Amino acid sequence: MSFVSANWGDIVHRALLHAWLAGLPLFLGLLISLPVGWLAQRSRVLRPFLVVGSGLLYTIPSLALFILMPLIIGTKILDPLNVIIAMTIYTIALLVRSVSDALAAVPADVRQAATAMGYTPARRFLAVDLPLAVPVLAAGLRVAAVSNVSIVSVASLVGISQLGFYLTDGYERTYGTEIGVGIVACVVLALIFDLTIVLLARVLTPWQRVNAA
């Protein structure tokens, strides 16, 4: 407890950085996954390539990606941008399939009716497909959020400041309390992300909460 009170300001600071490094990629990854997932759902030919291909990205070890990133995009090794981009890639890896599945779950007769009412394809996507995809999409987003919070901590090995620091630092100093604080802080952060997504999905889907006839 004394470690927490003595380092409270530092913990909060690192937690905010951690949230930023995990949260921004979540948002960017979702933005990119939407069109890619949409394409995968529409094209029977492209689907296996897009879904399996993006899924394979997840198998790249995160440490390798953090180190390789500067070589690929020419940033400095300590640039947080490396982490942002790498985490965006992991988010895409998890979300393309979710988006594709979420869009596929929109009932065919609803989609057909929307087209027959005179929706243009783009407008239909925004007004009908996307709102109906929210429940499945939110489920995928929750997994990606928790995974991001966990993977980001690895970035402390390449010197990017966030909660992972307590794990590496605690390990070097063989100071169990510090490692414990790092773990608990990560778990709390992951829970906050998870809860936020659940609440957001609830607000976006009032129609899911009514009692069926």
Partner 1 sequence: MIRFDRVVKKFDGGSVAVDNLSFEAQRGEITVLVGPSGCGKTTSLRMINRMIDPTSGQILLDEQPVGQIAPAQLRRGIGYVIQHAGLFPHRTVLDNVATVPRLAGWSKAKARTRAHEVLELVGLPGDYAVRYPSQLSGGQQQRVGVARALAADPSVMLMDEPFSAVDPIVREQLQDEFLRLQRELGKTIVFVTHDIDEAIKLGDKVAVLEVGGRLAQLAEPAYLLAHPINDFVSDFIGRDRGYRALAFQDAPDFPLRPEPTVELGTTPAQARLATSDGWLLVVTDGRPQGWIEPQRITVPIESAMLHRGGTVARNHGPLRAALDAALSAPSRRGVVVDDDGRLLGTVRADEVLRAIDAAERPAIDPADIAPAESP
**Residues at the contact surface with partner 1, assessed by CB under 8 A:** 107, 109-110, 112-120, 123, 128, 131-132, 205, 207, 210-213
d(CA 189, CA 99): 24
Q: Kindly state the smallest distance separating residue 66's Cβ from partner 1, in Å.
A: 40
Q: Which is nearer to partner 1, 101 or 178 (CB)?
A: 101
Q: Kindly state the smallest distance separating residue 201's Cβ from partner 1, in Å.
A: 12
Q: Which is nearer to partner 1, 7 or 205 (CB)?
A: 205
Long-range contacts of residues 33-36, Cβ cutoff 8 Å, at least 24 apart: 33/91, 33/92, 33/95, 33/96, 33/98, 33/99, 34/99, 34/130, 36/92, 36/96, 36/99
Q: Are 100 and 47 in contact (CB under 8 A)?
A: yes
Q: Are 202 and 158 in contact (CB under 8 A)?
A: no
Q: Kindly state the smallest distance separating residue 179's Cβ from partner 1, in Å.
A: 46
Q: Which is nearer to partner 1, 109 or 172 (CB)?
A: 109
Q: Kindly state the smallest distance separating residue 130's Cβ from partner 1, in Å.
A: 10
